[in-house]
Amino acid sequence: MAQDSKAGERDAAGEKPGFQPFDPATIEPYVVKDPEALTVNIARMVEQLGKAASAWLAPRESGAKVDTVSEPMVDMVKTLSKVSEYWMADPRRTLEAQTMLLGSYFNIWSRTLGRMGGEDAAPGPDPHAKDKRFTDEDWVKNPFFDFLRQAYFVTSDWAEKLVTDAQGLDEHTRHKAAFYVKQIASAVSPSNFVTTNPQLYRETVAANGANLVRGMQMLAEDIAAGRGDLKLRQTDTSKFAIGENMALTPGKVLAQSDVCQVIQYDASTKEVLKRPLLICPPWINKFYILDLNPAKSFIKWAVDQGHTVFVISWVNPDERHAGKDWEAYAREGIDFALDTIKQATGEDEVNAIGYCVGGTLLAATLALHAKEGDKRIRSATLFTTQVDFTYAGDLKVFADEEQIDLIERGMQATGYLDGSKMATAFNMLRASELIWPYVVNNYLKGQDPMPFDLLYWNSDSTRMPAANHSFYLRNCYLNNTLSKGEMVLAGKTLSLKDVKIPIYNLATKEDHIAPAKSVFVGSQLFGGKVTYVMAGSGHIAGVVNPPDKNKYQYWTGGPAKGEFEAWIGKAKETPGSWWPHWHAWIKAEDDRMVPARKTGGSMNSIEEAPGSYVRVRA
């Protein structure tokens, strides 16, 4: 019998065609060099892990902390069970789902075996090639790690498809299921574990596990700092101090109420616009996001353009503020600031800015003012503000009746919502960027995070008064009353159609908190002229974008009417910051100038800016 003439062929090196000989250098970085040192460090790691466990258990054993982790887990299980019910109710659907996943696994396994056998398989298009979690070259170069990476993406894509294709789910349940699947997928990524992440594995071998010892020590420190909860460090907080290298714009605290301090900033120009500018920031975070440092400060820039800038610095509340609701924040916050401006400058007309939930409060207060005939605010600018919560994004996951009731019961015990709860919720919106990279860097690599002012501000969370937060969740996220003309404030039913003043409504393209479409839809609810502008980047970077950085871009167009996608298709893109465009808009409304004002006028100041309220940490 004739033998295949090619079966015995060899190349010049004596190898079969396509065969790649074993290269010891490829696994050298993964070989433990000093087993004894590794063993000692593993023991030290376990010791530090024990300290972390003790830091977590101590406040629970003493009764200082009541653990409620199981309650959101119950909601997740209930939600995902509804997806499972659809696929398991019909054996054919069950088989279809299993076949879909197993077929994908078989394809990956076949390609991996081929690569390990020397086949030079040309890779197809990789939709996940830009994923920052998998930038190490061994994720593709090494067949083992490449298999893990592909299997992970196949599984997570399959799970997302199960949610998308499940029939009979209401939209809120589908939204929650998709969110929970995304959170699980982020958590179980092979990039998060030492033995399945090539870079982590190499670094652990090279350090004989010393990185894990340091990482578990940091974990114990962070749980202790969180008083039994993990306070994930995202930056080196020792490098920043409010009033020393952050929030530096010169000014004075002129007045304070139970809920806020009012700051006026010193003029830097010989003349200033006649209308002062009042900024109403969110109370969920602190106002100095608009005054991080002189190079990034919107407040300083506005002062340098000739604005007399006043800022509300909200209190970091405790149990004494439990009953402070939205009416209190409108009266003792915005109206109190307007009274202060009148006393300090003598001016009755003001331009106002509201940021995020501060903008939602400002919009509601404007509607209340319209009912009362209060015309002190003559123009309003809203930064990433929602007044209609139909398209409010992933935060709606936390805002159904059952979960709000759970939050309210938790707030009854203390009078407030702990700031860490909101911080965790915001981080979960971008878990693959704001949670797991820091878990890997801090606790597995054992490296201190780099100093970054924005992340310092992000970690400087605030508490929320129980009455205020309950009103916000129920009226905005749950029942959307402001958009429906059903919100009641100070005994009056509010309508945004009553707000006739000009509005500059700024959205940001990649916003996860106030999506650009949501802001666009809300623009159509006001009774006056609205200038809708969409900036590049997200909720923070899209707003804090100084002109001299020449970063990102913004889009302008006609009235915010019709479909959002149609507006985007016709909008004009302009490179750089939107700040000068906004300033031109302000001046077009009223460009009268007056001599620069002395800070406070005849008022005695309480203290220097940025004041004491902003320094209180949660």
Which is the catalytic residue, given 260, 280, 356, 476?
356
Facing residues of 486 across strands? none
Contact 507, 571 (CB under 8 A): no
Contact 309, 265 (CB under 8 A): yes
Cis peptide before 502 (omega within 30 of 0): no
**46 vs 41: CA distance, rounded Å:** 9
Burial readout 446-456 (b: 16 or more C-beta within 10 A, e: otherwise): beebeeebebb
Q: Would residue 356 show up in a list of annotated catalytic residues for this protein?
A: yes
Strands (E), 431-493: 464-465, 488-489, 492-493
Nearest in space to 34 (alpha carbons), one of 157, 204, 180 = 204
**426 vs 284: CA distance, rounded Å:** 11
What is the SS3 assignment for 320?
helix
Contact 242, 453 (CB under 8 A): no
**132 vs 58: CA distance, rounded Å:** 37
Q: What is the dihedral of CA 382, 387, 393, 398, to 10 degrees?
A: 120
Cα angle 177, 178, 184; round to 5: 85
Distances in whole angstroms, Cα of residue 495 to Cα of each of 4, 15, 354, 383: 86, 81, 18, 20
DSSP at 477: I
**529 vs 507: CA distance, rounded Å:** 16
Facing residues of 595 across strands? 271
Contact 264, 344 (CB under 8 A): yes
DSSP at 437: H
φ and ψ of 132, to 5 deg = -65, -20
Which residues are known to be catalytic? Answer: 356
